[in-house]
Amino acid sequence: MPSGLAPLDYYRATCSPDSYPMLDGARECAVCIIGAGFAGLGTACSLHERGMADLVVLEAQHVGFGASGRNGGFVFGGFSLDERALQSQAGAAEAQALYGMSVAAVETIRGRIRRHGIACDAREAGAILANWFDDDRLLDARQRFMAEHMGVQWQRISRADLGELLQTTRYHGGLFEPAAFHFHPLKYAQGLARVLSGHGIAIHEHSRVARIERDGARWRITTTRGQVRAREVVMCCGGYLGRLHRKLSSAALPIATYVMTTEPLGARLAEAIRTQAAVYDTRFAFDYYRALPDTRLLWGGRIAVRDRDAASVARLLYGDMLKVYPQLAGVRVEHAWSGLMSYARHKMPQVGRLPDGMWYAMGFGGHGVGPTTLAGELLASALLGDLEGMARFEQWGLPFAGGPAGKLAAQLVYWYHSLRDLMRS
């Protein structure tokens, strides 16, 4: 594989972000949100849309620094917990209602992009679930289950038709989800921040929170050079929470995933991919990829308990890409990166309020674009007195994620399922 990777990931290299001042000095507000990723910005947007503007958003790095600005850019319904397991745990009616809430969140994202004119390379092209295994029953069962139990119609793609769209013999037909789309996630996060800032909501970058404590009936949030006193505080830190809050940190596993982009392929892209739809496959640890507007191919996959350097990510994913599209041998990888996702042991979003009154949203795993937006809607409603929506997630709660042993267990589970998928195929 040719060497010479760009110093920045693709998303940061292809946008011109606004900058927001570091918090310097003291200020007061109604709600202080910690974390300027999708969950934090989504909560701020949902509160603003409900008429609240007395908000402060604190970010340790820059807007969209974590998984929100580094993910594959897929926008579709569902959670990290698959739909059958969701039904088993929540019951048929409740599972369908929860899935419907995630689909509604996708429409919320669409609406914000359209309403605010956010230029984030959104492509309304759907998503394809490509069958890695030579077994049509898998697709039959998934299509039927989604229609009967989740109320969505996924369209069957025959082996021959999928072979025209994806020039590979690796897949055995697929399902098309027409309501899905994909976008540049960092541009979207920056667009949300721009909208909020334009309406007077304070965003402070490079303002790492060092301490959160009660101050009478309010909260005192202390950063390196400033302090916020707020009536309410909302924690939205995901995989980069660190040790900021012991209870929340103990309930989440920071898990890494990897992404790369090729050089612009021009006409050569059609030698492999002849669709604008985003693609993922039916394995436990699946590949996910999509063609970008400039004819690059973005490719992601794998799960690990640690970040890797860009060169290692590029080597791993380049090999994965060639297993599906050997005709792309020799293309240059220009960007490669990794990032941490926040996983809960139960794979459902963790949205709620601690006994001391702190609100939180985390644990979105590898399926967070829609659910983070949903979490923002739930938190905004709860902060304004409507707790019904948020209460639907109480059954999953904040179970201990296992610490270092939990990370080892997660890695072993990944290896086990990867081996099982290999044997099956």
**What interhelical angle do 185-198 and 92-116 show, nearest 10?**
70
Task: Check which CATH number belongs to the domain holding 261 and give it.
Answer: 3.50.50.60
Planar angle of CA 115, 121, 126, nearest 5 degrees? 90
Give the pair of three-digit tokens for residue 324: 């599906």
Residue 121 lies in a domain: no
Residue 14 lies in a domain: yes
Q: What is the DSSP letter of 22?
A: P
Q: Which of 174, 176, 180, 154 is closest to 73 using CA atoms?
A: 180
Q: What pLDDT score does 3 carry?
A: 57
Residue 238 lies in a domain: yes
- Residues in the chain, pLDDT under 50: 1-2
d(CA 248, CA 398): 7
Q: What pLDDT score does 406 carry?
A: 64
Q: Which of 86, 66, 9, 396 is closest to 255 using CA atoms?
A: 66
Residue 417 buriedness (CB in 10 A; 0-12 / 13-18 / 19+): middle
Residue 208 lies in a domain: yes
pLDDT single digits (tens) 347-401:
999 999 999 999 999 999 888 899 999 999 999 999 999 999 999 999 999 988 7
Residue 419 lies in a domain: yes
Residue 191 lies in a domain: yes
| H or E stretch at 302 | strand 297-304
Overall size of the chain counted in residues: 425
- Please give the backbone phi and psi of residue 255, each rounded to the nearest 5 degrees, phi first: -115, 135
Q: What pLDDT score does 413 carry?
A: 66
Domain that holds residue 191: 10-116+128-424
Give the pair of three-digit tokens for residue 165: 């769209």
Q: What pLDDT score does 2 carry?
A: 45
Q: What pLDDT score does 242 carry?
A: 85
Domain count of the fold of the chain: 1
Residue 2 lies in a domain: no
Q: Which of 83, 108, 107 is closest to 97 using CA atoms?
A: 83
Q: What pLDDT score does 306 carry?
A: 72
Residue 222 lies in a domain: yes
